[in-house]
């Protein structure tokens, strides 16, 4: 059954390549129950990811720790921007238990940005990695982290817990930062990626970019070059989708053919593995990508 993935009354009709086929079967419902029963949040649901049906049906999900309210207000993001909840120190164990119940071979853990906390909540990231490891020795762990306001100690706290993949999204080109993610700094995000490779050379480093926010292909080429120069191993390039009318308009819908060309462009800049397609997201097919790249590092 084909349905057009509908997000709020968009001005620009969405092209057919953004329609999805909903997977059949109860795994999706099982995953939703496991998440609910363990009182957890996922970025899949909070950010209204178009792939959640497919990923859940495959038994994978991206857990969002440190609450569901973010201290920042990026203009593309559907996560609630409000006074954050108190830190829940039992959350790491609950994530580990959900991973066990779901039998995940690969888990992605992300968070809202908590600029209100010392170290931005890095300790909870580290404790979650350790808790998952204790209960699920075979599970590979990817963490998608905020920029911790550039704090080196916060980054080290996470790296010392030894995740398998360290992911941090650059999100867009430098010129658009003030419009798209005003509380972030382009060079700060690049520095974070560079620091990880400097501190943990064998760690797989990953980043992501959205297109359709007003960037030009020349700006994308420059951004790919900057990301490649950090030593980043994996890059995800996907289409920005407007979560609601409160968020930025979609400037353009990039066709699958254009995405292939962008993927090639990014690889030509020296990034080992690039997935560029309309509906890819940071943790989409994350395990496959990791297994592909980790053989080449």
187 Cβ neighbours under 8 A, 6+ residues apart: 174
CA distance 83 to 102: 31
x-marked contacts with ligand SF4 along 146-185 as a string, rule CB under 6 A: x----------------------------------x----
CA distance 194 to 177: 19
- 295, two tokens: 């053989």
**What phi and psi, each to the nearest 5 degrees, are found at residue 22?**
-75, 130
Number of residues this chain uses to bind ligand SF4 (CB under 6 A): 10
x-marked contacts with ligand SF4 along 86-125 as a string, rule CB under 6 A: --------------------------xx------------
Q: 2 to 61, contacts with ligand SF4 by CB under 6 A?
A: none
Please say which residue, 77 or 241, places its beta carbon nearer to ligand SF4: 77
Please say which residue, 72 or 197, places its beta carbon nearer to ligand SF4: 72
Residue in 164, 170, 172, 121 with CA at minimum distance from that of residue 143: 164
- Secondary structure letter of residue 164 according to DSSP: S
Q: 254 to 273, contacts with ligand SF4 by CB under 6 A?
A: none
Please say which residue, 119 or 181, places its beta carbon nearer to ligand SF4: 181
- Measured in residues, the chain has a length of 297
x-marked contacts with ligand SF4 along 194-233 as a string, rule CB under 6 A: ----------------------------------------
Q: 123 to 152, contacts with ligand SF4 by CB under 6 A?
A: 146
CB of 70: closest distance to ligand SF4 in angstroms?
3
CB of 15: closest distance to ligand SF4 in angstroms?
24
Buried b (16+ CB within 10 A) or exposed e, 18-38: eeeeeeeeeebeebbebbeeb
Angle (CA) 274-278-284 rounded to 5° is: 60
User: Please, are residues 284 and 244 in contact by the beta-carbon 8 Å criterion?
Assistant: no
DSSP 3-state of 165: strand
Q: 62 to 81, contacts with ligand SF4 by CB under 6 A?
A: 70, 72-74, 77, 79
Please say which residue, 147 or 233, places its beta carbon nearer to ligand SF4: 147
List residues binding ligand SF4 (CB under 6 A): 70, 72-74, 77, 79, 112-113, 146, 181
């Amino acid at each position: 059954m084909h349905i057009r993935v509908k997000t709020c009354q968009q001005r620009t009709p969405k092209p057919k390549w953004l329609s999805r086929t909903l997977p059949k079967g109860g795994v999706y419902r099982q995953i939703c129950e496991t998440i609910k029963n363990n009182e957890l949040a996922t970025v899949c649901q909070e950010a209204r990811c178009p792939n959640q049906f497919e990923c859940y049906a495959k038994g994978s999900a991206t857990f969002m720790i440190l609450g569901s309210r973010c201290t920042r207000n990026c203009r593309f993001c559907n996560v609630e921007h409000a006074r954050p909840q108190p830190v829940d120190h039992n959350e790491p164990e609950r994530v580990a238990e959900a991973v066990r119940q779901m039998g995940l071979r690969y888990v992605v853990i992300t968070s809202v940005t908590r600029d209100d906390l010392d170290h931005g909540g890095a300790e909870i990231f580290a404790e979650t990695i350790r808790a998952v490891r204790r209960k699920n020795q075979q599970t590979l762990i990817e963490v998608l982290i905020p920029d911790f306001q550039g704090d080196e100690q916060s980054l080290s706290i996470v790296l010392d817990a030894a995740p398998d993949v360290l992911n941090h999204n650059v999100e867009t080109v430098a010129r658009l930062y003030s419009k798209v993610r005003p509380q972030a700094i382009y060079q700060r995000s690049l520095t974070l990626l560079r620091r990880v490779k400097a501190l943990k050379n064998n760690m797989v480093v990953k980043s992501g970019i959205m297109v359709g926010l007003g960037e030009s292909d020349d700006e994308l080429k420059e951004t790919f070059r900057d990301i490649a120069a950090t030593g980043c191993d994996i890059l995800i390039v996907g289409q920005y989708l407007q979560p609601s009318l409160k968020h930025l308009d979609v400037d353009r819908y990039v066709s699958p053919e254009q995405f292939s060309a962008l993927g090639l462009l990014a690889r030509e800049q020296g990034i080992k593995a690039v997935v560029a397609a309309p509906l890819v997201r940071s943790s989409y097919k994350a395990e496959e990508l990791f297994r592909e790249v980790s053989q080449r590092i």
